[in-house]
Amino acid sequence: MKYTDRFIVAIYYAIGGIVLGFGMALYFSLYLNLAIGSAQIVLSSVILCFAMGYLFPHAVGTLFKWIWRLFTH
């Protein structure tokens, strides 16, 4: 995969990381009392998803499935 393709995939997964971060921030604010702010949760999930999308473009889908199963079961 070319570097430009990897970068585009990483941007798409960063956008998905925003949605995931908002979901995690909402979950943590309702059910857990953490010292971490919501903005830090969203920002860290965006950075993590961007890095994973760039370095491992085909493995991020599996990561989203695992996280989805964590919150739904």
Answer whether residue 33 shows pLDDT above 80.
Answer: no
Q: Of the candidates 15, 24, 13, 11, which has an alpha carbon nearest to the alpha carbon of residue 67?
A: 24
Confidence of residue 73 (pLDDT cuts 50, 70, 90): low
Number of independent structural domains in the chain: 1
Domain range for 12: 3-72
Tens of pLDDT, residue by residue over 38-71, are 888 888 889 988 888 888 887 767 877 887 787 7
Q: Count CB-CB contacts under 10 A for residue 50.
A: 21
Question: Which percentage of the chain shows pLDDT scores above 90?
Answer: 0
Give the mean model confidence (pLDDT) for residues 28-35: 75
Give residue for tokens 């499935």: 65
What is the per-residue DSSP string for 10-69? HHHHHHHHHHHHHHHHHHHHHH---SS-HHHHHHHHHHHHHHHHHH-TTTHHHHHHHHHH
pTM over 0.85: no
